[in-house]
Structure 1
Amino acid sequence: MKDMPASPSAHAPADHPAIASEKIGILIANLGTPDSYDYWPMRRYLSEFLSDKRVIDYPSWKWQPLLQTVILSKRPFASGKAYKTIWNEADNESPLLTITKQQTAKLAAAMQAEYGDRVMVDFCMRYGNPSTKSKVRAMVDAGCRKILFFPLYPHYAGATSASANDQFFRALMAEPWQPVARTVEPYFDHPLYIEALAQSIERAYAELPNRPDILVCSYHGMPERYLHEGDPYHCQCQKTTRLLRERLGWEETELTSTFQSVFGPEEWLKPYTVDEVARLAKAGKKRIAVCAPAFSADCVETLEEINDEIRESFEGAGGQEFTYIPCLNDEDTHIEALGAVIRENLKGWIG
């Protein structure tokens, strides 16, 4: 492996500011987390999230008064209650933060085993802490003259991937000496990602006493309008389901795609998971399994929404056996897939 270029400080005058040895930064990003499930931390987090024009694109003059007076006077209590049921009390943090730390540690070990000290691996959150801006600043201070920014969303959506990239670019705008930057494209059809999904499902099915009648692939929802405006998210989700089915060797009737986490008055992508599981139960599908391929780590939408609201909808309609298959989290097959994506995107920068 070739050495990184020598630091310019080696030939600089004695009074020149110190310059760290050059590195390549690998900055992974996820959605975010409140600092606590109490009212004010929840309110700050939700205000930042729901003020993002990529998430809610209504005119500010119309949306902000409603958000700040009506929605944020009530929603932090409901969201805080949901977070409290899944909170990692031992570390006083959300499961998403715990899992992202674990993923980062494993990716850092894998990258450093291959590239040594020439790379620096860290993580940030789009909303909440640690912020994207703080982590970009830390990487630049550490000598990262190139940064690979990797939003951990398998599927592209304006409200997730694009929003994370927006925040990354804003952070770059604040840097006096701006590093070279790349962003990672979605990996919804990457063979190792599909393989990791398939193996997680095969393991879960092997442990069940009865095979589920159907597997529900529940993806995070979005307003249907976004699809018609050109967002590829829906199509990418459908392709993941198809590739997963082909890898598993299953019939089309053995799995289906649905969408969860509906918010607001608009029509969202359908079928809605909460309604579809009830329909399946009434149609005689008494045993179902649910997985969440769009989430790289378990979070409130999976641990609380799927395991509570969606499970309750299924069982209330006559369903008998409900199995939630966890996200890929820090499973070795997932880390291998993410590592492969990173290596592919580092080509030309490091060998």
Structure 2
Amino acid sequence: MGRMKPTRLDTKAADATCPAHAQADHPKIPKEKIGVLLANLGTPDGTDYWSMRRYLNEFLSDKRVIDYPRWQWQPILQGIVLSVRPSKSGAAYRSIWNEEADESPLMTITKDQVAAIKSRISAVYGDEVVVDFCMRYGNPSTKSKVAALTAQGCTKILFFPLYPQYAGATTATANDQFFRALMEENWQPASRTVPPYFEDPTYIDALAQSVENAYEGADKKPDILICSYHGLPERYLKVGGDPYHCQCRKTTRLLKERLGWNDTQIMTTFQSKFGPEEWLQPYTVEEVARQAEAGRKSIAVCAPAFSADCIETLEEINEEIRESFEHAGGEDFLYIPCLNDEPAHIDALVGVIERNLQGWV
């Protein structure tokens, strides 16, 4: 029978003391705290072949992402996919890589988000609440960050996947990894997971502000706003009952209502199709071309499913999808950045955190 690894408490922490009424030789333990662990998708450590291969292997081996039987999918993945795709993905990442920090934009932005949230949370709760982040794939791993929080004395952890809309391939797999990490802890903290916030009024308002600001600064007002969400196979919705499609459409509707627009000014599309199956439609890359061919020469695109700009927005939307629009005769393409560390977004995220901490603080 296997034994769990003991939880390693930081007994040298400045606030470490012996429990009340404990024997004199009892090890010191840190002051009890609450951890808030933000989670995003992940990022390769570098753009070289082997860094990309490690990252893609972890990502594409996830049954939540690709649910084909292992015997069927793994030979394909380990063969042709991981032979060819790391080089192509590495080139795409190099086109957006933060060379100064030697990291992906997602990592840079996530660090900025966490720093802003830490500042806000610390101002209210002091050192009672510890804020950190992890990635579902790559580094820093969920396992390492859960271990670090428990070592600091966090007896409660609020786990916050940074996906406004729920999907099995995003929110659920992040939660899965969090629960796996808890299995490694001998002294498990109490835990909560944050539900999707796709209809949260402060999130919708932050989206609306970003659109309004972009339109005000545009040389030409766009004819339509394309809300491009990351896609999923249709089968996940029809067979598995995944609510993602409905939540995406509701986000677009609430954004439309907040902006005071009509249906001709905004629409929902889906990007990042992978493999032979039918995915959620319409596909963004095809829809922007149709808009151009229909005479709409000026469009804007935003990505409400992404909390931070990443390869799917900076490279796919702002390069590939832009190219599809312009090739079809489009003229003015406005990409509206993700909410990133904008103050209104930080307000929304802090509000979600504080509501989910109720009863703990």
Give the deviation of 1:7 after TM superposition: 6.4
- Counterpart of 1:260 (choices 267, 271, 276) is 271
Alignment-mate amino acid for residue 61 of structure 2: S
- Name the residue aligned to 1:306: 317
Within-5 A mapping of 1:155-234: 155-228=165-238, 229-234=240-245
- Name the residue aligned to 1:280: 291
* Poorly superposed stretches of 4+, deviation over 6 Å: none
Give the deviation of 1:9 after TM superposition: 2.1
CA distance in 2, matches of 1:329, 1:275: 27
- Name the residue aligned to 1:145: 155
- Name the residue aligned to 2:359: 348
> Retained in 2: the 8 A contact 1:7–1:22?
no
CA distance in 1, matches of 2:194, 2:279: 27
SS in 2 for 1:9: coil
- Name the residue aligned to 1:49: 59
- Name the residue aligned to 1:321: 332
Q: Which whole-Å deviations, capped at 9, do the CAs of 1:153-173 have from their partners, x for residues lacking one?
A: 000000000000000000000
- Counterpart of 1:338 (choices 318, 341, 349) is 349
- Name the residue aligned to 2:143: 133
Using the size of structure 2 for normalisation, the TM-score is 0.95
Within-5 A mapping of 1:64-75: 64-75=74-85
Give the deviation of 1:73 after TM superposition: 0.2
> Retained in 1: the 8 A contact 2:18–2:26?
no
CA distance in 1, matches of 2:354, 2:18: 27
Give the deviation of 1:15 after TM superposition: 1.9
CA distance in 2, matches of 1:315, 1:255: 19
Alignment-mate amino acid for residue 13 of structure 1: Q
Alignment-mate amino acid for residue 299 of structure 1: C
Give the deviation of 1:16 after TM superposition: 1.5
Q: Does 1:242 align with 2:253?
A: yes
> Retained in 1: the 8 A contact 2:18–2:28?
no
Q: Does 1:20 align with 2:39?
A: no
Give the count of matched residue pairs.
345
Q: Percent identity?
A: 71
> Retained in 1: the 8 A contact 2:17–2:28?
no
Alignment-mate amino acid for residue 42 of structure 1: M
Alignment-mate amino acid for residue 122 of structure 1: D
> Retained in 1: the 8 A contact 2:227–2:304?
yes
- Counterpart of 2:122 (choices 108, 112, 116) is 112
Using the size of structure 1 for normalisation, the TM-score is 0.97
CA distance in 1, matches of 2:166, 2:25: 47
Give the deviation of 1:8 after TM superposition: 6.0
> Retained in 1: the 8 A contact 2:113–2:346?
yes
Q: Which whole-Å deviations, capped at 9, do the CAs of 1:180-224 have from their partners, x for residues lacking one?
A: 000000000000000000000000000012110000000000000
Provide closer, same or farther for how the CA distance between residues 188 and 8 of structure 1 changes in structure 2, counting only shifts above 3 A. Answer: farther
Q: Which whole-Å deviations, capped at 9, do the CAs of 1:55-100 have from their partners, x for residues lacking one?
A: 0000001100110011000000000000000000000000000000
CA distance in 2, matches of 1:157, 1:11: 48
> Retained in 2: the 8 A contact 1:28–1:151?
yes
Alignment-mate amino acid for residue 206 of structure 1: E
Q: Does 1:63 align with 2:61?
A: no
SS in 1 for 2:19: helix
SS in 1 for 2:164: coil
CA distance in 1, matches of 2:290, 2:18: 65
Q: Which whole-Å deviations, capped at 9, do the CAs of 1:240-285 have from their partners, x for residues lacking one?
A: 0000000000011000000000001100000000000000000011
10-19 or 223-232, larger mean C-alpha shift: 10-19
SS in 1 for 2:95: helix
